[in-house]
A and B are shown apart, each in its own frame.
Chain A
Amino acid sequence: MSADAEDAGRRTTAGSGGTEPSADAGVGAGPDAGSGAGVGHGASAGAGPRGADAGTGAGAVAGDWPLWEVFVRSRRGLSHVHAGSLHAPDAAMALRNARDLYTRRQEGVSVWVVPSTAVTASSPDEKDPFFAPAADKPYRHPTFYELPEGVRNL
Chain B
Amino acid sequence: MSAAPDPATADLATAGALALGDDALVLSHRLAEWTGHAPVLEEDVALANIALDLLGQARTLLSLVGDEDELAFLREERAFRNVQLVEQPNGDFAHTIARQLYFSVYQELLYGQLAAGGEAAPLAPLAAKAVKEVAYHRDHAEQWTLRLGDGTETSHARMRAGLDGLWRYTGELFRPVEGLAVDWAALEAAWLETVGGVLERATLTLPEGPRATGWSAGAGRAGVHTEPFGRMLAEMQHLHRSHPGASW
A-side residues, CB < 8 A to B, are 4, 7-8, 10-12, 15, 41, 45-46, 50, 54-62, 65, 86-90, 92-93, 96-97, 100-101, 104
Contacts and interface: CB of A to CB of B under 8 A. Distances in A.
Contact of B94 (A10, A56, A58): A58
Contact of B151 (A41, A58, A93, A101): A58
- Name, among A4, A62, A92, A100, the residue most crowded by chain B CB atoms within 10 Å (CB to CB): A100
Contacts of A60: 39
Interface stretch (B54-62, B101-109, B137-145): B137-145
A53 to B, nearest CB: 9
Q: Which of B49, B139, B140, B147 has the most CB of A within 10 A?
A: B147
A12 B147 CA distance: 11
A46 to B, nearest CB: 5
A77 B156 CA distance: 44
B151 A86 contact: no
Given A57-B93, A58-B92, A92-B143, A8 B42 contact: no
B152 A7 contact: yes
A57 B148 contact: yes
The binding surface of chain B is classed by DSSP as helix
Interface in B52-95: 92-94
A28 B49 CA distance: 30
A24 to B, nearest CB: 12
B143 A55 contact: no
B132 interface: no
B241 interface: no
28 contacts: A7-B152, A7-B153, A11-B151, A11-B156, A15-B203, A45-B146, A50-B146, A55-B147, A55-B150, A56-B151, A56-B152, A57-B148, A58-B39, A58-B152, A59-B152, A59-B154, A61-B39, A62-B40, A62-B41, A65-B40, A86-B42, A87-B40, A88-B42, A89-B147, A93-B147, A97-B45, A101-B42, A101-B45
B140 A54 contact: no
A141 B42 CA distance: 42
Contacts of B140: 96
Q: Of B46, B92, B93, which is in contact with the most chain A CB atoms at under 10 Å from its CB?
A: B46
B151 A55 contact: yes
Contacts of B92: 58
Contact of A104 (B40, B42, B43, B49): B49
A57 B144 contact: yes
Given A8-B152, A57-B148, A96-B140, 16 more contacts: A7-B153, A11-B150, A15-B203, A50-B147, A54-B146, A55-B147, A55-B151, A58-B39, A58-B92, A58-B155, A58-B158, A59-B152, A62-B41, A87-B42, A101-B45, A104-B49
